[in-house]
Structure 1
Amino acid sequence: MSNTANLNQDDPLDDFERRSITLDGVSKVVYVAGRGPAVIVMTEMPGISPHVARFSRWVRDAGFTVYMPSLFGRDGAVPQAEEGIATFRRACVSAEFRAFAANESSPVTQWLRALARLAHEQCGGPGVGAIGMCFTGNFALSMMLESSLLAPVVCQPSLPIDDPAGVNIAPEELAAVRERLEREDLTVMAYRFEGDKHCRAQRFAAFSDALGERFIARVLPDSAANPQSPPFFSQVVASPHSVVTAHLIDETGQPTLAARDEILAFFAQRLIG
C-alpha cells in the first residue's frame, strides 16, 4: 500500500471529487473519494498537503469513503515556511478555532459533527470514523457527541497552544464523551512523538485522566520520525510531530507505518467488522 505521488510538488487532488457542502448555514469545500463507510480526515496545519492527501488515499484504498474538508490553507500545497506561518496566524484569530483556550471546544467542531451525520447518511454502515491532526488533533473527540461517530483518532493534538496540559474541549463535553465510550464500549486511539514540542506528555496525561483506559495512547520514539520533511515542518514545527503525514517513513518495519496500519485496522474493526 504505497503512494507514488511526488510529495515535494503541489498535489492537484484530481482523484478526489471536490464538493461544496453547506451545513448549519456554513459552506466548506470537502474532497471526497472512495467507497464504503465514511472516514473524515481533518488536515493538520498548514493545510491539505501532499502528505495529508497521501494519508487520505491510504484510507480510501483500505475500503472507505474519505471526506477531507478544507479547513485552512491552500489545498494541495507543499507546506512552505512563510505561507504556513501566515495560515497558522489566520487560524489562530479565526472565530472557528479556539487556539489558546483550554477547556473550550472550537466552534468548527459543530460543523464537523454535522458532516459526520451527513457522511453516515450518504455512505451507510454502522457509523463513521474521524482522525484529527495537530491543530485539528482533538476534534474527533468533540465529534463523539455525534452518535454516528464510532472510531475517533487523535493525532498530536496541539491546542491549546500555550498550555501543555490543556485540552481543547469543554469539560462537560469531555465528560459526555467518557460516558458514551463506556456505555457503547468504544475507544479513542491517540498518537504522538515522545519529544513533540507542540503535543507534550501532559496533554495525553490530561486525556487519560478524563477518559480512563478508553484513551489508548501510542507514544513513538523521536528516532521514528522522518528527518526529511517539508520546510514548514523542518523550520517552523522543528520537532518530531506528524505521525502519519510529514514525519511518516513509508518503509516496512517503521513505527510510523505501523501506526498508520493500526489506525486503518481500527477503522475497519469499528466500521466494517
Structure 2
Amino acid sequence: MTFPDRWTQGSHTHDGVSHPTYRQGSGPGVIVIHEIPGITPEVATFGQEVVDAGYTVVMPSLFGTDGAKMTPLSTASALRQVCVSREFTKLRTGETTPVAGWLRSLARDLHEELGGPGVGALGMCFTGGFALAMMVDAPVTAPVLCQPSAPFAVGDKRSRDVNLSSGDLDIVKGRCAAGQQVLGLRYRKDPAVGKRFDTLTQELGDAFIRVEFEGSGHSTVTAHRQQEGVDAVLRFFADNLH
C-alpha cells in the first residue's frame, strides 16, 4: 500500500460481502469509487482534493491492487478480476450492477454517522454509473458520473445503456423530477462512454448537468484531469451536501 499515512484503512460488510475502505477528512460524506485498474495514485490525489475542500471521503476498494500505478499489466489484471466477478455487469443491458447494494449500504452507514442532507457519490469509468444506482435506496444527494463506461459500449444498444434496471431508472427519474440533480463529466469523443449522455439527457432532462470537454481523453478527474471538471464536482458537492 503506497497511500500516505493520513488515509485510515477500514472495511465495510453488507450481505456477507466485505471490501476494504480508505477514509480521511471531516465534514459531509463523499464516497469516491475508483476506476480501472483500482485506487491508483491519481485516484488518491483526487480524493485528497475532495478532503481538502472540507469533506469526509471514503474510498472503497472494489478490485485491483491498492496504490498500484495505471499500467497495461495492472489494467489487464483488474479487467480479469472484474470479468469473473458476479458483483459487476459487463455486457448485459437493462440491469443494475449487483455491487450497488453494497455501495448503498456504505452510503447509508456514512450518512447515519455524519448526518446532513445526504452524501456524495462519484464513480469513474467502469464505476461511473454506480453513483446513479446508489440514488435508488440510499441518501445520495450529490451523484457524479465521470465517464460512465459500463456495460462495455459494444454496439449501439450497450453504448446507450445506463447500467440500471427499468425499475431503478424509474426511481431515479422520480427523484430527479422532485428536484435531485445528477452531474456528468466526459470527453466528447470518448468511445467508452458511447451515447449514455444522450440517454441520461433524454431520461432525466434538465436534471442531468453535462460537463463535456473536447477531444478523445477519458479520465476526466485523474489521468486526463481537467481543472474545470474538478471545480464543477466540488461546486456540485457544495450545493448539495451543505
Give the TM-score taking structure 1 as reference length: 0.84
Paired letter, 2:114: C
Distance 2:175 2:193 in 1: 25
Report the alpha carbon displacement of residue 147 of structure 1 after superposing the two structures with TM.
4.2
CA displacement, residues 170-216 of structure 1 (integer Å, 9 cap, x when unaligned): 11101110101212x1100001101112112x111111111111111
* Alignment partner, residue 182 of structure 1: 177
* Alignment partner, residue 119 of structure 2: 128
Taking only the aligned residue pairs, the percentage that are identical comes to 45
Report the alpha carbon displacement of residue 111 of structure 1 after superposing the two structures with TM.
0.4
Contact 2:68 2:74 in 1 (8 A): no
Distance 1:97 1:257 in 2: 30
* Alignment partner, residue 207 of structure 1: 200
Report the alpha carbon displacement of residue 67 of structure 1 after superposing the two structures with TM.
0.7
* Alignment partner, residue 84 of structure 2: 93
Matches within 5 A, 1:1-273: 11-161=2-152, 162=154, 163-183=158-178, 185-200=179-194, 202-222=195-215, 239-248=216-225, 256-272=226-242
Contact 1:116 1:146 in 2 (8 A): no
Secondary structure of the corresponding residue to residue 164 of structure 1: helix
Contact 1:11 1:49 in 2 (8 A): no
Contact 1:13 1:76 in 2 (8 A): no
Distance 1:130 1:83 in 2: 25
Q: Find runs of 4+ consecutive structure 1 residues off by over 2 angstroms.
A: 10-14
Secondary structure of the corresponding residue to residue 12 of structure 2: strand
Contact 2:105 2:138 in 1 (8 A): no
Distance 1:78 1:240 in 2: 18
Distance 1:218 1:262 in 2: 8
Report the alpha carbon displacement of residue 83 of structure 1 after superposing the two structures with TM.
2.4
Distance 2:59 2:142 in 1: 16
Distance 1:84 1:266 in 2: 30
Paired letter, 2:234: L
Structure 2 regions of 5+ residues with no counterpart? none
Distance 1:23 1:17 in 2: 20
Count of residue pairs the alignment pairs up = 238
Distance 1:181 1:187 in 2: 6
**Which is further off, 202-211 or 148-157?**
202-211
Secondary structure of the corresponding residue to residue 40 of structure 1: strand
Give the TM-score taking structure 2 as reference length: 0.95
Report the alpha carbon displacement of residue 116 of structure 1 after superposing the two structures with TM.
0.4
**Which is further off, 20-29 or 100-109?**
20-29
Structure 1 regions of 5+ residues with no counterpart? 1-9, 223-238, 249-255
Distance 1:22 1:164 in 2: 32
Secondary structure of the corresponding residue to residue 99 of structure 1: coil
Contact 1:20 1:28 in 2 (8 A): yes
Distance 2:83 2:207 in 1: 30
Paired letter, 2:205: G
Distance 1:246 1:15 in 2: 22
